Structure 1
Amino acid sequence: MKPSHDKNEKNFQRSMKSRHLFMLSLGGVIGTGLFLSSGYTIHQAGPAGTILAYLSGAGIVYLVMLYLGELSAAMPVTGAFHTYAAKYIGPATGFTVAWLYWLTWTVALGSEFTASGLLMQRWFPSTSVWMWSAVFALLIFLLNAFSVKFFAESEFWFSSIKVLAIVLFIILGGAAMFGIIPIESGEAAPMLSNFTDEKGGIFPNGFFPIVMTMLSVNFAFSGTELIGIAAGESVNPEKTVPRAIKTTVWRLALFFIGTIFVLSGMIPIKEAGVIESPFVTVFDRVGVPYAADLMNFVILTALLSAANSGLYASSRMLWSLSKEGELHPSFAKLTSKGIPFNALIFSMIGGILSLLSSVFAPDTVYLVLVSISGFAVVAVWMSIAAAQFMFRRRFLAEGRQLSDLKYRTPGYPAVPIAAFLLCLASCIGIAFDPNQSIALYCGIAFMAVCYAAFHLKNRKSRASGQTAKSH
């Protein structure tokens, strides 16, 4: 492994505060997975099944944040995940994790831009999805091309808008659900009928579809780990990272479960899908003047916010790979404002992917993009669990005390083991879903290529070194 580019590392600006980390995490999480693909989950798992799936997802993400908190507080570096995996599992795994996480967010960029284009068709039905995808891709690129402080501040306000929108949605949708606000069509308030309907019921398609949809649910929760990525550019990470983790987890659980409860109660299972956001569907039923259009705008803002976070994360992962000598040195070059511009440009490949998907089949390709991104992020979560398990074991073996840790994960070793197994189960579940199984095969193939590329690259490096010595 080549030496780190220390000169570039010094140019990173530690300008993110605790509120920036918190909103950055929310910005990455509250996006397509909640606003759009939640409709697919309701259709597959049913109302109660969807709530159970999201409760399970919240539990998994809670475990993920616990062991990520310990690692990030102990080693606050940009591109954290692959650094942890390389050090405590193996360099080949670290290399693969970096590219998996890059894949997670570049593919997510494709889904966010495609979803944004789909939403714009509500106002401009005669326009093409790909045209809007291109416009939004350019906008997100420009937001990331300025300083880190500018990015963090813009993301803070973007995220604030969608958090406020979710709170209003839960209040208005819940009021309509229980008859406090009348439904525009004059029909009776659904109350809890969607949960008890004979045609639907608690688990209309059985229990197994809940397992099959877990990957989509995990995709919805992906982004919480951005706190670990941003630790290297935050002020006083030993304190800000644990604080951001605590506030993020419980608020995410509240937002997601409350929202899914209202969505499941207001939308019949047969009407749920990904053609239109289920949020817009609910507001259309409530009949609040211009509420659906307003919500469409808020969702659009939320999707772009998630894309903003995603481009940030993927570019930092490429920078980290380059800094460690696993990628061309040009990706480690920073602008005067501390931006890895070359890595930023390369990561926009996700935007190109979104254009292709919207041209060929936006409704079907979108779900494939979500599934591939979901598989990649779950694989990354598994690596973090394994890294934390190995980190703690080595930490104690070196004779140090638990009190020396700046942030300690409770329940070791049960927590990382449980998180690893739950993530593994969600990956296995998609093998039985014909709509998502391609993600499993593509994901495994991608990992195999990464491992092969790493060993081939290092074999050539060793051979070159030996040749140089012989001369």
Structure 2
Amino acid sequence: MAATTGRPSTSSGASTPTRDPEHPRSVALHGADIAGQAKRQIWHALRRRKTETLVSDESKKPKHELALVSPLRPPALPAWRIVMAMLGGSLNASFLIAGSLTIKFGGPGGSLVAYVIAVAVLYMATTSLMEVASRMPDDLPYYMYGRQIFGRAVGAALAWCYWLLWIVILVYEIVASGFIMAFWLPDVDRAMWCVLLLIACIIIVVLDSRLYSVVECTLTLVIICAIITSIIVGALIAAGKLGDHKYGLETWRSDGGPFVGGVLGVIGASIFANFAVQGAEVGAIMALKSPSRRSRRLVPLAICGAFALLLWSSTFVTGLVLPPSDPWFDKESFDSADGSAFTYIFEKAEIHPASHVVNAILLLSALFDACIALYISTTILQDLAARRLAPKGLQNPTNGRKLSPYSMGVCCILTLGIWALTFIRVESAVALMAGVIGTSGFITWGAIALMHCIMRWSKKHRHPADNSSNTTLASSAGIYKAPLFPLGPLFCLVHEVAIIAGIIYIAAWMDFDVYVFLFGTMQIFVFIALIGFAALIQHFGYCLC
């Protein structure tokens, strides 16, 4: 009976019959088993996916608060956050003070042309770097891209030059802090303020301050608001609504016209204009981490659009109310709020406390940028040591959150050494250091444009990461292609060569000054010397990994 009904027998001696697969109850039970298995598989898959997401999110978080600006492996950020980071890193003392120097050297028209060209070249360098980076391994920092394209010797020299650039930026910030504090306390030695700022930077970087992101966004918003306010106030002054004089366009018709010094004046203004936007091309690496093609296309436009809106408008309005022949330019130093065009505009509008507000912004900006420069220079030196491009003892032995104290010590010692050289001519130290940084930026942008051209036109370097086991930055959204190739990188190359040639001509043949010549061309000679040094040690068998 048990065999005919399909029910199992309860007797101990009887064998258990098989279930009839065609019986309706058997079909229902089989379907329930399948449904249960599917539910369990879905539940386990969701739980596994949630766990992987949590692990992925933890891995994307920067190990250090300053890691989001690191050129090693910057984290993936939203588009607005990338734009804010790039604006915060560029719209600081380099523009608040150097903006007046562009008008002094190039006039109102020359300074405007210099900033227009600087923003255009920034867009071309950013898109070129995005395409180069999209074909490189994900774990390769962008200052090592030259090794893949130019060879080990030139690649090593570019990496060393990039590290030295951040050392010089750190020197610039601590020197500027001395002049900024002298605005309030002129009787106190400036050297003391420089040393105190360096000590404060070391403490902030070592303690890994969690207030970094908040301070960065707040300071960026304050600077943007200050620029917008100065644009509005300057426009009202030019229109005669504020102050006792209506300027209109008379500064463009003054002695020398809108272009003071002609082409050489534009070249002189371009040094400081490039200094104001230099470093914003790092946003290309952050944008490549986005899986959306739309974000990749919009981030360079957003960065350059924000720079264009703020820099062009501010420069044009400042040029309307500040003629190059104004006695205000006769001062010896442009290294504090007294040398900022924003202070000049607010004083014209009889807003007298504005100089103290601008000076406070400059001080916070100097501290903020000095911390970034110290962190980046330390991490770069650690990475170079790990790649056998620096002494092995400088790499981080723990491979954890903490920075190598030896690398930080080397960076601080070199910073103090370069800072000591500025005492040769203290009154123009900040302007001369800005020239060194601007020249370094020209070398960096020129190298990016040249790498882009070689990668596109050479079959050997077209897909350098194809044979690598590492993933590339383009693995999620494909290879990025710069929209203006080949005009973009070629224009960038011509611009950099013309500016560097103009710098050498101005420094060597027009009112020759050894100090100005060395600080204007030092990075070029250092780069050439580093190439020779790298080729020499490679010739003797030392591996440049």
Q: Is TM (by shorter chain) over 0.5?
A: yes
Q: Which residue of 2 aligns with 1:283?
A: 346
RMSD: 3.4
For residues 197-237 of structure 1, give each alpha carbon's deviation from its aligned partner in whole angstroms, at most 9, with x where no partner exists.
Answer: 2x2421233333212332222122212133357689x7879
Structure-to-structure mapping, 1:17-416, within 5 angstroms? 17-18=77-78, 19-75=80-136, 77=138, 80-147=141-208, 151-180=212-241, 182-183=242-243, 187-197=244-254, 199-227=255-283, 244-270=299-325, 271-272=328-329, 274-275=333-334, 276-333=339-396, 336-337=400-401, 339=403, 341-349=405-413, 351-352=415-416, 355-356=419-420, 359-393=423-457, 394=459, 396=462, 405-416=478-489
Contact 1:35-1:279 within 8 A present in 2 as well: yes
In structure 1, the residue matched to 2:25 is: none
Query: 1:405 offset after TM fit, Å?
Result: 3.6
Q: Per-residue CA shift, 1:41-94, capped at 9, x if unaligned? A: 211111111111111111111111111122334447577333211101211111
Q: Which runs of 5+ in 1 are unaligned?
A: 1-8, 464-471
Offset of 1:112 from its aligned partner? 2.0
Distance of aligned partners of 1:235 and 1:155 in 2 relative to their CA distance in 1, 3 Å threshold: farther
Asked if the contact 1:229/1:316 (under 8 Å) is kept, the reply is: no
2:50 is aligned to: none
State how far apart, in whole Å, the 1-side matches of 2:506 and 2:298 are.
38
Q: Are the structure 2 counterparts of residues 304 and 356 from structure 1 closer, same or farther at C-alpha, using a change threshold of 3 Å? A: same
**Cα pair 1:46 1:203 within 8 Å, conserved:** yes
CA distance in 1 between partners of 2:139 and 2:179 (Å): 34
> Could you tell me how far 1:354 is from its partner in structure 2?
6.7
Q: Distance in 1 between matches of 2:273 and 2:413?
A: 24
Letter of the aligned partner of 2:369 in structure 1? A
Q: Is the 8 A contact 1:29 1:306 kept in 2?
A: no
* Structure 1 CA distance for aligned equivalents of residues 357 and 465 of structure 2: 58
Structure 2 partner of 1:469: none
8 Å CA contact 1:24–1:309 kept in 2: the answer is no
Q: Any unmatched runs of 5+ in structure 2?
A: 1-58, 64-73, 467-473, 508-512
CA change 1:241–1:128 in 2 (3 A) is farther
Give the alignment's TM-score, normalised by structure 2.
0.73
C-alpha separation in 2, matches of 1:308 and 1:16: 21
Per-residue CA deviation, residues 251-274 of structure 1 (Å, 9 max, x unaligned), is 011111112122222223133365
**1:113–1:354 CA contact under 8 A, matched in 2:** no
Q: Could you report, residue by residue, the CA deviation over 1:279-330 in whole angstroms, capped at 9, with x for unpaired residues?
A: 2222222212522211221232233333333334333332332232211234
* Distance in 2 between residues matched to 1:132 and 1:213, nearest whole Å: 29
Distance change >3 Å, CA 169–CA 381, structure 1 → 2: same
Instruction: Kindly provide the CA deviation profile for residues 438-471 of structure 1, in whole angstroms up to 9, marking residues without a partner as x.
Output: 34542232112211221232233359xxxxxxxx
Give the distance between the partners of 1:404 and 1:78, measured in 2 at CA.
Answer: 17
- Please identify the structure whose Cα radius of gyration is greater: 2
Match of 2:518 among 438, 450, 459: 438
CA contact (8 A) 1:57 1:217 kept: yes
CA distance, structure 2, for counterparts of residue 152 and residue 338 of structure 1:
19
| Count of matched residue pairs | 449
1:6 paired residue number:
none
Pairwise CA distance, 1:238: 8.2
Letter in 1 for 2:454: M
**Match for 2:357: what amino acid?**
L
Higher relative contact order (CA 8 A, sep 6+): 1
Aligned equivalents of 2:236, 2:417: Cα separation in 1: 40
Residue among 495, 500, 514 paired with 1:422:
495
Task: Decide whether the 8 Å contact of 2:268 with 2:503 is kept in 1.
Answer: yes
Give the stretch that moved more between structures: 318-327 or 373-382: 318-327
- CA change 1:159–1:359 in 2 (3 A) is same
Residue 348 of structure 1: SS of its match in structure 2? helix
Q: Percent identity?
A: 20
Q: Match for 2:86: what amino acid?
A: S
Aligned to 1:3: none
Give the Cα–Cα distance (whole angstroms) in 2 for the partners of residues 279 and 56 of structure 1. 22
Quote how far apart the aligned CAs of 1:433 are: 2.1
Q: Secondary structure at the match of 2:439?
A: helix
Residues 244/75 of structure 1: CA separation in 2 closer, same or farther (3 Å cut): farther
| Separation of aligned partners in 2, 1:348 and 1:230 | 28
**Residues 326, 415 of structure 1: alpha-carbon distance in 2 compared, 3 angstrom cutoff:** same
Amino acid aligned to 1:408: K
CA shift for structure 1 position 124:
1.3
- What secondary structure sits across from 1:123 in the alignment? coil
Greater shift, 130-139 or 299-308, is seen at 299-308
- C-alpha change, 1:387 and 1:342, in structure 2 (3 Å) is farther
| 1:417-454 C-alpha deviation (Å, 9 max, x unpaired) | 22112111111111122375334542232112211221
1:17-62 CA-to-partner distances (Å, cap 9, x unmatched) read 2344333322321123211122222111111111111111111111
> C-alpha separation between the residues in 2 aligned to 1:390 and 1:202?
39
TM-superposed CA distance for 1:357, in Å, is 5.3
Q: Distance in 1 between matches of 2:481 and 2:292?
A: 14
Check whether the contact 1:26–1:224 (CA below 8 A) recurs between aligned residues: yes
Structure 2 residue identity aligned to 1:163:
I
1:456 partnered with 2:520: no
SS at match of 1:28: helix
Query: What SS does structure 2 have at the residue aligned with 1:137?
Result: helix
Q: Do the aligned partners of 1:194 and 1:264 also contact (CA within 8 Å) in 2?
A: yes
Do the aligned residues in 2 keep the contact of 1:148 with 1:339 (CA within 8 Å)?
no
Shift of 1:242: 5.7
Aligned equivalents of 1:62, 1:159: Cα separation in 2: 21
In structure 2, what is the Cα distance between the partners aligned to 1:16 and 1:453? Answer: 36
Structure 1 SS opposite 2:541: helix
DSSP 3-state at the match of 1:327: coil
Q: Residue by residue, what CA displacement relative to the aligned partner does 1:159-190 show, whole Å, maximum 9, x if unpaired?
A: 2322222222222222223223x22xxx3132
Range with greater deviation from structure 2 (50-59 or 242-251): 242-251
Mapped contact 1:28–1:226 kept (Cα < 8 A): no
